[in-house]
Amino acid sequence: MSVPFNETAREFRALQPELETAVLGVLRGGHYVHGVEHAAFERELADFLGVPHVVGVGNGTDALEIALRAVGTTAGSEVVTAGNAGGYGAAAARAIGADVVVADVDPCTLLLDPASAGAACTDRTSAVIVTHLYGRAADVAAVRAALPPSVAIVEDCAQAIGARTAAGRCGSLGDVGTFSFYPTKNLGALGDGGAISCRTTDLADTVRSLRQYGWSERYLIGRGGGRNSRLDELQAAGLRAKLPHIEAWNARRREIVGAYAAAAEDTSFSFPGPGPGDVAHLAVGRHPRRNELAGRLAELGIATAVHFPVADHRQPGLEARTGPTGAAEAERSCAEVLSLPCFAQLTDTEVEQVCDAIRRVA
């Protein structure tokens, strides 16, 4: 029996009556953009995150770009980001015309190193993107303490919905938080979608304007840098049906990562268990011969992936540079990380099959 890396159809089957009712309700209602489902989802997600405002947008990358613009990023600004986070924040910054400066990460957590981020800031820095990578909650307060007061913090919560620290949930800790609802996320849409959480009314008003052409009122573009980025009613309805299940799904993901970590003890596969508040979006370990291990696991029917194989400053299209501390740890992690199957609908039998494979070949 093979174990898939992910299988979104299982989630649909588990919630089929609820999802079909939600989608048919939208189709019968005839209001497909920015209707009652969209408004309700924004309120419900804001309540879940513990923030005053959530604004739905078309996808997670739009969320990052709009959030960066909302906190003052313009062409010629600098944006600091971790070097191992897949290039998503860097791509959003480059779309604005900002320069990307790559900071290093902590070698244990693989999350943004606060001192490295602080050292990378200059008088042109508008924002630092703090990515809660793999579902691990970064220490936003420590990053804030390392930055100049004028630099905004944009949380990238695409992999961390529901993750929390002592100070609150991810998405409530920085100036703005960004979310992706790509179908394989912990909270996945039936297509694509995204959202931005805001701690102030002024920021929320700016984001709402930017997601709809920069309108200050209907058909009057009062703000530059706007675009058309909508979370449609069908996606909002599906996400509303799924949101009440997110805590249970996250708990199951944590169980899976914990089982893998136990299986990897006394092997060459460095595999941390979930930390406090983590939501285990991905089950990621490190191995000095990553590709060899992936091949051996494939022979045993275990699908794997790499998140992520290329550091931002090695991406030709991003034209990013490293800050004064370099990004050696980020680059090293890109050569060693390996992701195992991790989604809430994995069966106990499948989890044990992965564990047995780890013990046999890692």
- 199 vs 51: CA distance, rounded Å: 6
- 260 vs 355: CA distance, rounded Å: 6
Q: What is the pLDDT of residue 99?
A: 98
* Whole-number average pLDDT of the chain: 98
Residues 6+ positions from 261 with CB-CB distance below 8 Å: 271, 272, 273, 274
> What mean pLDDT is predicted for residues 254-274?
98
- Which pLDDT tens digit goes with each residue over 307-362? 999 999 999 999 999 999 999 999 999 999 999 999 999 999 999 999 999 999 99
- Helix/strand/coil (H/E/C) assignment for every residue in 42-62: HHHHHHHHCCCEEEEECCHHH
Q: What is the pLDDT of residue 93?
A: 98
Q: What is the pLDDT of residue 22?
A: 98
No. of helices (H) and no. of strands (E), the chain: 13, 14
Q: What is the pLDDT of residue 304?
A: 98
Backbone angles phi, psi at 45, to 5 degrees: -70, -40
- Which pLDDT tens digit goes with each residue over 13-23? 999 999 999 99
Domains of the chain, start order: 8-243 (3.40.640.10), 245-361 (3.90.1150.10)
Radius of gyration, alpha carbons of the chain? 20
- Which pLDDT tens digit goes with each residue over 25-61? 999 999 999 999 999 999 999 999 999 999 999 999 9
- 12 vs 85: CA distance, rounded Å: 28
- 103 vs 82: CA distance, rounded Å: 5
Closest to 184 in 3D by CA, of 307, 37, 297, 87: 307
Q: What is the pLDDT of residue 88?
A: 98
> What mean pLDDT is predicted for residues 265-293?
97
Q: What is the pLDDT of residue 266?
A: 95
- Which pLDDT tens digit goes with each residue over 61-91? 999 999 999 999 999 999 999 999 999 999 9
Q: What is the pLDDT of residue 233?
A: 98
Q: What is the pLDDT of residue 252?
A: 98
Closest to 199 in 3D by CA, of 154, 163, 165, 166: 154
Q: What is the pLDDT of residue 140?
A: 98
- 181 vs 176: CA distance, rounded Å: 17
- Which pLDDT tens digit goes with each residue over 219-230? 999 999 999 999
Residues 6+ positions from 272 with CB-CB distance below 8 Å: 108, 261, 285
Neighbours of 349 (CB within 10 A): 9
Half-sphere exposure of 39 (CA within 13 A, CB side): 4
Q: What is the pLDDT of residue 21?
A: 98
- 231 vs 236: CA distance, rounded Å: 7
